[in-house]
């Protein structure tokens, strides 16, 4: 597995900085275990969808909420270890 992570974020809500901060946190935590982190702006209001190798690990649309602090890191750990 390549461990390519995609962070889809709401462009109209101006969540680019939040998504970029999460991408940096992922790179800091996992280093070379994560091949690439891709930021994907979306026009859908409130969008926050995160995948690893195209497998959805978090969806704001499905959960009705934004991820809690550290939640994405924990989900990635469970997926790649």
pLDDT tens-digit map of 4-40: 999 999 999 999 999 999 999 999 999 999 999 999 9
Cα separation of 34 and 54, whole Å? 13
- Which pLDDT does position 70 carry in this prediction? 95
Nearest to 2 by CA among 29, 27, 35, 30: 35
Domains of the chain: 4-80 (3.40.30.10)
The single-letter DSSP state of residue 67 is: P
- Which pLDDT does position 25 carry in this prediction? 97
| Average pLDDT, rounded, for the chain | 95
Q: What is the pTM of this model?
A: 0.94
- Which pLDDT does position 4 carry in this prediction? 98
Q: How many CA atoms lie within 13 A of 80 on its CB side?
A: 22
Q: Is the confidence at residue 1, as pLDDT, over 80?
A: no
């Amino acid at each position: 597995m390549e461990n390519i992570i995609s962070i889809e974020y709401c462009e109209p809500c101006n969540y680019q900085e939040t998504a970029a901060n999460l991408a940096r946190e992922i790179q800091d935590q996992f280093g070379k275990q994560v091949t690439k982190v891709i930021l994907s702006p979306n026009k859908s209001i409130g969008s926050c969808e995160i995948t690893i190798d195209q497998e959805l690990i978090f969806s704001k649309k499905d959960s009705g909420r934004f991820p809690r602090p550290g939640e994405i890191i924990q989900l990635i750990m469970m997926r790649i270890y």
